[in-house]
Structure 1
């Protein structure tokens, strides 16, 4: 995708505003502890508010210490499991799966007893499925210097880090923190009478710019059935990093053979369809754009590289 464009281009700059989300483990409380010790002497018992120690006339033994949590939900605040309603969502603390953030619908997509609004993001990292059905993104690259040429590019995803957060009503947010791609085969672009270049795009990594800026809707009925499907509400801004390895060039003044680094070249994914299935075990990003400019960059030699269109599906699992 943008990777291709980046391969032939100079570095670019983008601006982004970051948003962070996260959860923290909650404190637990410990019930009173009992310790029993025996000796040959008469029984003596000492009692305090937290510990009871018993001494008898038998050899010394110690009972295990036990602790019991007060019911604080992981990722939530330390509100006690009582009849109060800490977040004012009409659900008593003792029954609330997210006690300090209002969630009257109590939606819990992954079924871990922690409500969506205070749960950790769903995170998908492992490539699931093989090309051509999954994990291959097709595009068209063009190179121009006055006149130009076009050549097809296929990018094969090998894994990444895509995260999804959900609310309690019907909106999800997605963040492609990173996507890794296999090295391409040798690609050829020819500008008649000017330049013929053969190149390989290597170590391609696309990283997201704006965490959880891109949203997509879901229905509560689909949520409860374990599947979310929706269209992105905006493009997903990205940066491209990797190596452009020109293996052969007919005009070294325009394109010198050798490796050129790609460092934070800006671009974007088009708005695509997102499907999160199996109660959060799998995600599919489906792109079907013919005209979206994923990336455009001009090299130091004046060669303009543009990557246009993006078609294919990336599927990852946890």
Structure 2
């Protein structure tokens, strides 16, 4: 099996079981109820006194993050631990039903060279692990650690007068190889209101695992029936809008891009499968 990449996607992926085992397939396990990265009022080395350990103008006794400067004292989840030293907020439960939420539409193409067909594909998200970190000044970071997708219904590729085959994309799991590299801005007013919204500053790299199962074919020499693994195939989500609502314990990733190549893969039978464009809203809750 060979895989191909497109502009803007990662150029490397795990190529052996040992290498593949280093790719995270689980959401971050940090707590959202006050467990921190080691710089909170509770476990920071600085005592709760009148000194100012981090030099942010807030006395230690009043500082919600004593060892990392945070003059705004922003605390999005209201747990008395400042954003800059709090654990990431983690969202994992699919929230809302398709088609309004958790149905990401794309366009698939399959073929060999200039001979190809196109057909729509909807990725229905069943669960995931998306985490967010907010700073003290107006920048958030988002990380899609895992996105689990339901098996598609049977899809049909029809190349007129040459071949028609039917396939299912199944066991699809998307993981993020790079934690918290995608940022988005937010306003302090939005932060104080309990809902932050911003546009991603870059694409979100992903690794795709699953199976392409060709179930029927009118020309088995061109389109061989059987399963072809999607094993550590590199790709990416396009830039989208991030919205985090604290009261609802909810995150929404809103994609609206018809041209972005999500991933490309060549099956064992020699057909190149490509997903282009991503439109829809992924919404998860805690």
TM-score using structure 1 length? 0.78
**Residue 53 of structure 2 is aligned to residue 86 of structure 1:** yes
Post-superposition CA distance 1:97-120 (Å, at most 9, x none): 000000000000000000000000
**Which residue of the partner structure matches residue 206 of structure 2?**
238
Structure 1: gaps spanning 5 or more residues? 1-8, 28-71
CA distance in 1, matches of 2:168, 2:191: 42
CA distance in 1, matches of 2:248, 2:83: 11
**Residue 156 of structure 2 is aligned to residue 188 of structure 1:** yes
**Which residue of the partner structure matches residue 19 of structure 2?**
none
Instruction: State the Cα distance separating 1:121 from its structure 2 match.
Output: 0.2
CA distance in 2, matches of 1:260, 1:271: 29
CA distance in 2, matches of 1:133, 1:181: 16
Post-superposition CA distance 1:211-260 (Å, at most 9, x none): 10000000000000000000000000001001111111122223322222
Of 44, 50, 66, the residue aligned with 1:77 is 44
Instruction: State the Cα distance separating 1:283 from its structure 2 match.
Output: 0.2
CA distance change for structure 1 residues 300 and 315 in 2, over 3 Å: closer, same or farther?
A: same
**Which residue of the partner structure matches residue 281 of structure 1?**
249
CA distance change for structure 1 residues 21 and 217 in 2, over 3 Å: closer, same or farther?
A: farther
Runs of at least 4 residues of structure 1 off by over 6 A? 20-23
Within 5 A, what are the aligned runs for 1:159-308?
159-279=127-247, 281-308=249-276
CA distance in 2, matches of 1:294, 1:87: 43
Max Rg structure: 1
CA distance in 1, matches of 2:29, 2:86: 10
Secondary structure at 2:61 match in 1: helix
Secondary structure at 1:112 match in 2: coil
Instruction: State the Cα distance separating 1:311 from its structure 2 match.
Output: 0.5
Of 118, 121, 127, the residue aligned with 1:153 is 121
CA distance in 1, matches of 2:258, 2:143: 23
The answer (yes or no) to whether the contact 2:92–2:129 under 8 Å persists in 1 is yes
CA distance change for structure 1 residues 214 and 280 in 2, over 3 Å: closer, same or farther?
A: farther
The answer (yes or no) to whether the contact 2:38–2:85 under 8 Å persists in 1 is no
**Which residue of the partner structure matches residue 140 of structure 1?**
107
The answer (yes or no) to whether the contact 1:26–1:73 under 8 Å persists in 2 is no
Instruction: State the Cα distance separating 1:279 from its structure 2 match.
Output: 4.4
Secondary structure at 1:224 match in 2: helix
CA distance in 2, matches of 1:24, 1:117: 10
Alignment RMSD: 2.3
Secondary structure at 1:222 match in 2: helix
CA distance change for structure 1 residues 131 and 25 in 2, over 3 Å: closer, same or farther?
A: closer
**Residue 97 of structure 2 is aligned to residue 130 of structure 1:** yes
CA distance in 1, matches of 2:209, 2:127: 15
Instruction: State the Cα distance separating 1:293 from its structure 2 match.
Output: 1.1
The answer (yes or no) to whether the contact 2:92–2:284 under 8 Å persists in 1 is yes
CA distance in 1, matches of 2:216, 2:278: 27
Post-superposition CA distance 1:40-62 (Å, at most 9, x none): xxxxxxxxxxxxxxxxxxxxxxx
**Which residue of the partner structure matches residue 44 of structure 1?**
none
CA distance in 1, matches of 2:188, 2:156: 49
Post-superposition CA distance 1:163-210 (Å, at most 9, x none): 000100000000000000111100000112222111111111000121
